Amino acid sequence: MVSSEQVEQAIKAQIPDAQVQVITPDGEHYEVTVVSSQFEGKGLVQQHQLVYRAIQQEMLSGAIHAMAVKTYTPQAWQATS
């Protein structure tokens, strides 16, 4: 089992400027929201690939069973508020 904090740390290690929110009801299924300037100019698939690369080991080991990802640039995040 991987804690929300561990997922957040793994993402921030790969995407240092990221603002990360992780929600998990059971420690196996996660909902992750990531805001980063590194997403600027990248398509949604490329943005998600950056996030999945950060937690690849946990996914491959089965520690994370499923993860829903939402990614935003800082500008796009502000527009949601």
CB 27 within 8 Å of CB 3: yes
Please, what is the average pLDDT of the chain?
Answer: 93
d(CA 9, CA 13) in angstroms, rounded, equals: 6
Instruction: Measure the CA angle with vertex 62, ends 4 and 13; round to 5°.
Output: 45
Cβ pair 14, 38 in contact under 8 A: no
Which tokens belong to 36?
């980063």
pLDDT in tens, 31-81: 999 999 999 999 999 999 999 999 998 888 888 888 999 999 999 999 987
Q: What's the pTM value of the predicted model, to 2 decimals?
A: 0.92
